[in-house]
């Protein structure tokens, strides 16, 4: 009996706008004798609903698009019982493709499809941001402040034209003008209390291809997150040094706090706008981010 594969495609994703890549991916799946069903997303949040409504009836699920498309599909799968979630494959077709970079996935759609038909399946960590709800899951980063909203601030046409440079330009130009947020953060028995212009909880070696973490310290199956807090720069020199340090893993720069933990508690003076895998999310002033260790089957 043929294996059933559900293919969720974001037709607006950068590298899938032409027909050639779409045909190559579909041909790879059909040549592998898979029973293929294709669903194209029509609006933000549609991929979440497709995954929630249909994934349990398939042997594999594959999404094609940017990190935002992957985020939506994961949010849909995480609302299903764990034993009803089929293994998830990802064909990166967005602008930065942070998740693919971190995971060593091919960025050419045809090559990514070949991996999916010859799968190696592992179980990866997923983060839950505050209380579990429809959109409160993430695979690689939850962040606020500088760089955090570059994804949805930058027009899609600009991202398609100049790639991840669009994110870098947006983040760097705003680094010194971000209004700091006073935060009380608890992680791994440590307390950090200060004014910060950026905070992230991540499971990735890179965020927007700018913020670099040590490859050795990051493992998407170890149940641990990497916490980064950036203090408010006091002058232009601090701003420049922070920007340079973000490109160097394990930088000793005093204005950058780094820690690891499976659970991180935030208490802010006020609610703030965060992004989960680049998608906008609002946070209360007091919440916890938790790592759900090895909860999602992923095709590597």
The pLDDT tens digits of the residues spanning 192-227 come to: 999 998 899 998 876 655 566 665 567 899 999 999
pLDDT, position 107:
86
Structure tokens at 165: 């440079």
pLDDT at 173 > cutoff 70: no
Instruction: Quote the pTM value.
Output: 0.85
pLDDT at 106 > cutoff 70: yes
pLDDT at 18 > cutoff 80: no
Structure tokens at 244: 């340079």
Residues 6+ apart with CB under 8 A from 223: 125, 262, 291, 293, 294
Q: Answer positive or negative: Cα dihedral of 34, 39, 45, 51.
A: negative
Q: pLDDT confidence of 270, banded at 50, 70, 90?
A: confident
pLDDT, position 90:
97
Structure tokens at 232: 């408010």
DSSP state of 55: G
Q: pLDDT confidence of 31, banded at 50, 70, 90?
A: very high
Within its chain, how far is the Cα of 240 from the centroid?
26
pLDDT at 161 > cutoff 70: no
> Average per-residue pLDDT in the chain?
84
pLDDT, position 148:
58
Average pLDDT over residues 48-75: 96
pLDDT at 140 > cutoff 60: yes
Packing angle between helix 109-117 and helix 19-31, nearest 10 degrees? Answer: 10
Average pLDDT over residues 168-185: 70
pLDDT at 165 > cutoff 50: no
pLDDT at 160 > cutoff 50: no
In the chain the domains, ranked by start, together with CATH numbers, are 4-119 (3.40.50.10330), 141-292 (2.60.200.40)
pLDDT at 60 > cutoff 50: yes
Out of 206-210, 269-273, 291-295, the most confident range is: 291-295
Q: Are 209 and 131 in contact (CB under 8 A)?
A: no
Average pLDDT over residues 244-262: 74
pLDDT at 30 > cutoff 90: yes
Number of H helices, E strands in the chain: 9, 17
Q: pLDDT confidence of 163, banded at 50, 70, 90?
A: very low
pLDDT at 17 > cutoff 50: yes
pLDDT, position 132:
82
pLDDT at 53 > cutoff 90: yes
Q: Which residue has the higher pLDDT, 68 or 207?
A: 68
Structure tokens at 175: 């680094």
**Whole-angstrom distance, CA of residue 164 vs CA of residue 195:** 28
């Amino acid at each position: 009996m043929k294996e059933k594969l559900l293919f969720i495609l974001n037709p607006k994703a950068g590298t899938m706008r032409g027909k050639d890549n779409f045909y190559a991916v579909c041909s790879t799946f059909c040549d592998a004798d898979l029973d293929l069903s294709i669903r194209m997303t029509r609006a933000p949040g549609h991929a979440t609903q497709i995954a929630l409504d249909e994934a349990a009836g398939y042997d594999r699920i594959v999404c094609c698009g940017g990190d935002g498309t992957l985020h939506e599909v994961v949010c849909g799968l995480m609302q299903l019982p764990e034993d009803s979630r089929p293994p998830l494959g990802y064909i990166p077709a967005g602008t930065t493709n942070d998740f693919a970079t971190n995971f060593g996935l091919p960025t050419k759609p045809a090559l990514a499809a070949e991996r999916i038909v010859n799968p190696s399946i592992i179980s990866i960590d997923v983060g839950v941001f505050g209380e579990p709800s429809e959109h409160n899951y993430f695979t690689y980063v939850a962040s606020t402040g500088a760089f955090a909203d570059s994804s949805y601030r930058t027009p899609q046409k600009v991202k398609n034209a100049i790639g991840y440079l669009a994110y870098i330009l947006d983040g760097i130009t705003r680094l010194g003008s971000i209004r700091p947020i006073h935060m009380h953060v608890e992680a791994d028995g440590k307390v950090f209390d200060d004014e910060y212009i950026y905070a992230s909880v991540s499971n990735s070696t890179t965020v927007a291809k700018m913020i670099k973490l040590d490859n050795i310290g990051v493992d998407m199956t170890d149940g641990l997150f990497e916490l980064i807090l950036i203090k408010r720069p006091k002058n232009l020199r601090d701003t420049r040094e922070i920007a340079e340090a973000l490109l160097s893993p394990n930088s000793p720069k005093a204005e950058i706090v780094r820690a690891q933990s499976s659970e991180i508690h935030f208490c802010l003076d006020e609610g703030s706008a965060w992004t989960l895998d680049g998608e906008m999310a609002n946070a209360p002033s007091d919440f916890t981010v938790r790592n759900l260790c090895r909860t999602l089957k992923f095709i590597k």
